Amino acid sequence: MTVVTPAWVRDAVFYQIFPDRFAISDRFGQNGYLPKPNHLQPWGDTPTHHGFQGGDLLGATEKLDYLADLGVNAIYLNPIFASAANHRYHTHDYYTVDPILGGNQAFALFLETAHQRGMRVILDGVFNHASRGFFQFNHLMECGPESPYRDWFHVHGWPVNAFNSQEQPNYDAWWGMHSLPKLNTDNTAVREFLWQVGVHWLERGVDGWRLDVPNEIDDDTFWQEFRRRCKAVNPQAYIVGELWGEAQRWLQGDQFDGQMNYLFARAAFGFFVGEQMDQTDTVRSGYGHIATLTGKQFAAELERLHNQLYHPEIVLAQMNMLGSHDTPRLITVAREDVTAVKLMVLCQMTIAGAPNIYYGDEIGLPGRHDPDCRRAFPWHDQASWNRELLAWYRQCLHLRQQTPALRRGDFQIIYATDHVVVYQRHYQGHTAVIAFNTANHPETITCPATFTGSLPEQLTSSGVALTGGQTYQLSARSAHVWAN
């Protein structure tokens, strides 16, 4: 099978926005936008499971210049459709943007403004389950077994127990949660409905879909048709799945272009933070327990992720992340070790695939288990920002954008010890070599004698060029990048 993934993803740096907590605008109540509802939590309050802080797409539009300056050129939006949940994974209406976010009008403005800046936008597609507020399920609650929509779900008794938490729901629900009835994707009408949702938003200009728990629609033909229809609208549409483990089944070129690369995140924490990790909350998330890795083990995992698991086209389309709305925050797992975080970020920006920054990580926003990892972005408290970390993100993003080998090159490990990992990216005459030392003391590396290039340093404090056969000293807990 020929494997083809969207070319633009190779050059992308994604920024993940959790809409209720990223930015809030004061333009509601004018220009056709309804006033915000009352009883919102104050911006920056401790997040709760059910409280809304009122972030919206107008506010996000106003922050696009900040993202462009950072070096971001693609945005992944957590769900934006009408919902009674602040995270909006409880979808009520797949065709209506939540009014608290500004509705379809605000999203159209956001999309147009992002595209004017050369930014791509992908949406979060939640297709395995809906919500109690979803019209067809509400119809079921009102009409019982006489509802024409009764086979849109897996109902095992009547009346449906949608609210009594003292008893299990008598229909299939995601993780047994009453509020999340699972859709019956064996039903022809349900399949058609979901495929049409995918097409609808692509026709309105979005650049792809991030698919929520797609493995729970355990049906290759469903996703194959989803891909066929999406690519018929836009052959460059990006389809990326939330798949926490190895995903060969879905990454053969006939379903998804890539996965959210939590495999990389686990490995990066294991090497760069190691025994210092705070795993209080990793074990409560999809990360599970993260194993500590030596440099040799980390190098072996990078080699596996790049050159063994997937087709090269898929590797270049992976969404590489160091955290998300479903995990404790990067800075928190690293126990506020900014040096370790900086090394992880440089690695994220220099391996194959598209980096994804979870909003606020670039300023050191902390957070533990959901909902704490979904705090409001502190625009009002810039004194709390880690400016050193923000400058580092900006430097690493710009390095990636300026270096073809980092965006499109192949991948090769060239040196590894317990504390040192060195790898090379090469693309059409452009080469980049990236070296890391996690030890608390200097380490000496030897460039392979077969290396014939002479590369100027790009991100370094030692001021040396790289040539084959020579030895170089890496400072304690440092990194060095050579690129031409």
**Alpha carbon separation from 273 to 150, 353, 397 (Å, rounded):** 51, 22, 21
242 is catalytic: yes
Q: How far apart are CA 121 and CA 282, in angstroms?
A: 29
Before 37, cis peptide (omega within 30)?
Answer: no
Counting Cα atoms < 13 Å in the Cβ hemisphere of 359 gives: 27
DSSP structure string for 388-456? HHHHHHHHHHHHHHH-HHHHH---EEEEE-SSEEEEEEEETTEEEEEEEE-SSS-EEEE--TT----B-
56, 98, 207, 212: which is the annotated catalytic residue?
Answer: 212
The candidate with the shortest Cα–Cα distance to 67, out of 292, 363, 302, 289, is 363
Q: Are 239 and 122 in contact (CB under 8 A)?
A: no
| Look-up of token digits 């039903």 | 187
For the packed helices 387-402 and 338-350, what is the interaxial angle rounded to 10 degrees?
20
20, 62, 207, 242: which is the annotated catalytic residue?
Answer: 242
Q: How far apart are CA 349 and CA 364, in angstroms?
A: 17
Q: How far apart are CA 298 and CA 419, in angstroms?
A: 10
Q: How far apart are CA 36 and CA 27, in angstroms?
A: 10
Classify the phi-psi angles of 233: left when phi > 0, otherwise alpha if psi is within -120 to 50, otherwise beta. Answer: alpha
Type of residue found at 186 = D
25-55 in b/e burial notation, b at 16+ Cβ within 10 A? beebeeeebeebeeebbebbeebeeebbbbb
Q: How far apart are CA 185 and CA 197, in angstroms?
A: 14
Q: Are 276 and 340 in contact (CB under 8 A)?
A: yes
DSSP structure string for 151-173? GGB-B-SSS--SS-TTS--SB-B
146 is catalytic: no
* Residues marked as catalytic: 212, 242
